């Protein structure tokens, strides 16, 4: 079956397993033999997560036809428009939103047991059902959800690899079938983007990633697929990822958001394809920030602007407490400024701002990414909670919802 046709049938496949489905007796009997495997990426639903889930589900479905494999994008459907580079790449390959399955398409209940394959992450609420993992993040072995994985779960976790798509590519080439130029093209594009086109300064790529891209390119050439040159492809994807022209400012904030969760707090971290210093000058920014941070004491914004002219990168950080918790904000600010692994080299912007009582700093160490910054913030939040522990007045302060008076 062709890849695109496989995707169009995924919804029908899934619906056969729905608890409320009007399945026939004959089908019920078949279901006892067949098993549904949900292949799902991480909640950021970046290109790596989306493409890894879609392509691995196809590869396995073709190889194990006695079972069903359904790829699921780990975001609600309404957030798909935020994943602009995913939309760009899939549209280019003739894959429309209507063909895709999202987290909110999954039922609360299935008939029979369902297996899960995790790609591009290994900590999941679905842990007890996970059969296999393909991931390239450092193992979070202490995480309670990691400990819930069945012993039999096959774990291919290779933190040295730049892209999970490389691991999927290894599965793809492990057998003769299936062969699909669309799959090869999608995997290649993902690896090129994840490794920053094998940039020596970004140091994201490994020899395995490069070898995989070369192997995919050889196959694409043999199948007479016209190849866009890597640099051109990379620039196209970066531009698509940064294309916020069709989004509202609240959507821009939600576009690439991660949540830092501690025992008592949830702090959203927005990654934005513009500098925060520029974002806060836009009309409507205040309203968007209020909507975005409505449930949290603190919100963090990480800006990264890539010049379309010369590719030069600028980064900055913004911290805002809508609840007016200036001490908490200061605690996180100090942690970031004092961070040594790696030093973020945070300094004031040339022109400062006190937008919504927040704090805005330029990040001069351009190599430090959200992956480095998030643990520092989490540590600071936990230290702060410990300092202002239970039995102390601030506990009530925590529980108090910020009064925002949204218009």
**By the 8 A CB rule, do 346 and 362 touch?**
yes
**Is the CB of 146 or the CB of 397 nearer to Mn ion?**
146
Least gap, CB of 159 to Mn ion (angstroms): 11
**Could you tell me the two tokens for 396?**
């009530």
**Is the CB of 162 or the CB of 358 nearer to Mn ion?**
162
Stretch that binds Mn ion, among 31-39, 45-53, 296-304, 358-366 (CB under 5 A): 45-53
Least gap, CB of 101 to Mn ion (angstroms): 20
Direct distance between the N- and C-terminal alpha carbons of the chain, in angstroms, rounded to an integer = 52
**Is the CB of 48 or the CB of 79 nearer to Mn ion?**
48
**Is the CB of 205 or the CB of 293 nearer to Mn ion?**
205
For helices 181-194 and 164-173, give the axis angle rounded to 10 degrees: 150
Stretch that binds Mn ion, among 42-50, 328-336, 365-373, 389-397 (CB under 5 A): 42-50
Distance between CA atoms of residues 99 and 388, nearest Å: 49
Binding residues for Mn ion, total number by CB under 5 A: 3
**By the 8 A CB rule, do 257 and 273 touch?**
no
Stretch that binds Mn ion, among 84-92, 112-120, 201-209, 229-237 (CB under 5 A): 112-120
Lookup result for tokens 């937008």: 355
- Bond before 215 cis per omega within 30 degrees: no
**Is the CB of 15 or the CB of 170 nearer to Mn ion?**
170
**Is the CB of 259 or the CB of 387 nearer to Mn ion?**
259
Least gap, CB of 153 to Mn ion (angstroms): 19
Least gap, CB of 162 to Mn ion (angstroms): 8
**Is the CB of 120 or the CB of 185 nearer to Mn ion?**
120
Distance between CA atoms of residues 205 and 188, nearest Å: 13
The angle formed by the CA atoms of residues 185, 35 and 132, to the nearest 5 degrees, is 55
Q: Is 53 in the site for Mn ion (CB under 5 A)?
A: no
**Is the CB of 164 or the CB of 189 nearer to Mn ion?**
164
Least gap, CB of 42 to Mn ion (angstroms): 7
Q: Is 164 in the site for Mn ion (CB under 5 A)?
A: yes
Least gap, CB of 164 to Mn ion (angstroms): 5
Q: Is 120 in the site for Mn ion (CB under 5 A)?
A: yes
**Of 148, 115, 139, which Cα lies nearest the Cα of 129?**
115
**By the 8 A CB rule, do 48 and 15 touch?**
no
Counting Cα atoms < 13 Å in the Cβ hemisphere of 206 gives: 12
Q: Is 193 in the site for Mn ion (CB under 5 A)?
A: no
**Is the CB of 68 or the CB of 79 nearer to Mn ion?**
79
**Of 327, 63, 339, 309, which Cα lies nearest the Cα of 180?**
63
Least gap, CB of 234 to Mn ion (angstroms): 16
Q: Where are the alpha helices (DSSP H) in 198-248?
A: 207-222, 230-242
Q: Where are the alpha helices (DSSP H) in 223-296?
A: 230-242, 249-255, 276-279, 285-292
- Mask for 320-349, x = binds Mn ion (CB under 5 A): ------------------------------
Q: Compute how many other C-beta atoms are within 10 angstroms of the C-beta atom of residue 380.
A: 23
Least gap, CB of 47 to Mn ion (angstroms): 9
Q: Is 119 in the site for Mn ion (CB under 5 A)?
A: no
DSSP 296-312: -S-EEEEEEEE-TTT--
Residue nearest Mn ion, CB atom distance: 48
**Is the CB of 193 or the CB of 359 nearer to Mn ion?**
193
Least gap, CB of 299 to Mn ion (angstroms): 24
Q: Which residues contact 229 (CB under 8 A, 6 or more apart)?
A: none
- Name which position in 10, 17, 48, 50 contacts Mn ion (CB under 5 A): 48
**By the 8 A CB rule, do 258 and 370 touch?**
yes
Q: Which residues bind Mn ion (CB under 5 A)?
A: 48, 120, 164
């Amino acid at each position: 079956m062709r890849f695109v046709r496989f995707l169009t049938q995924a919804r029908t496949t899934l619906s056969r397993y729905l608890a409320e489905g009007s399945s026939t007796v004959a089908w019920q009997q078949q279901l006892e033999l067949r098993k549904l495997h949900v292949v799902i990426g991480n909640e950021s639903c970046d290109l790596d997560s989306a493409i890894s889930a879609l392509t691995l589900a196809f590869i396995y479905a073709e190889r194990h036809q006695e079972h069903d494999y359904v790829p699921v994008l780990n975001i609600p459907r309404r957030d798909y428009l935020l994943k602009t580079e995913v939309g760009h790449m899939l549209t280019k390959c003739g894959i429309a939103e209507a063909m895709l399955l999202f987290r909110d398409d999954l039922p609360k209940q299935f008939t029979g047991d369902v297996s899960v394959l995790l790609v591009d992450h290994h900590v999941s609420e679905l842990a007890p059902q996970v059969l296999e993992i393909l991931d390239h993040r450092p193992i979070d072995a202490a995480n309670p959800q990691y400990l819930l994985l069945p012993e039999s779960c096959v774990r291919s976790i290779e933190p040295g690899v730049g892209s999970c798509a490389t691991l999927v590519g290894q599965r793809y080439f492990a057998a003769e079938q299936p062969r699909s130029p669309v799959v090869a093209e999608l995997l290649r594009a993902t690896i090129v983007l994840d490794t920053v086109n094998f940039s020596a300064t970004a140091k994201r790529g490994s020899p395995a990633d490069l070898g995989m891209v070369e192997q995919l390119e050889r196959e694409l050439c043999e199948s007479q697929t016209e190849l866009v040159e890597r640099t051109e492809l990379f620039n196209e994807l970066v531009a698509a990822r940064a294309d916020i022209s069709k989004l509202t400012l609240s959507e821009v904030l939600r576009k690439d958001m991660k949540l830092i969760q501690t025992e008592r707090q949830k702090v959203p971290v927005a990654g934005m394809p513009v500098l925060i210093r520029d974002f806060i000058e836009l009309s409507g920014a205040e309203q968007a920030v209020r909507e975005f941070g409505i449930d949290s004491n603190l919100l963090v914004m990480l800006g990264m602007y890539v010049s379309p002219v010369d590719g030069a990168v600028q980064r900055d950080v913004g911290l805002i407490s809508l609840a007016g918790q200036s001490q908490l904000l200061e605690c996180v600010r100090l942690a970031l400024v004092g961070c040594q692994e790696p030093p973020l080299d945070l300094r004031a912007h040339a022109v400062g701002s006190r937008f919504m009582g927040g704090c805005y700093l330029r990040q001069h160490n351009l190599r430090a990414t959200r992956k480095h910054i998030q643990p520092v913030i989490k540590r600071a939040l936990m230290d702060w909670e410990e300092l202002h522990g239970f039995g102390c007045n601030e506990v009530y302060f925590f529980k108090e919802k910020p009064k925002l008076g949204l218009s």
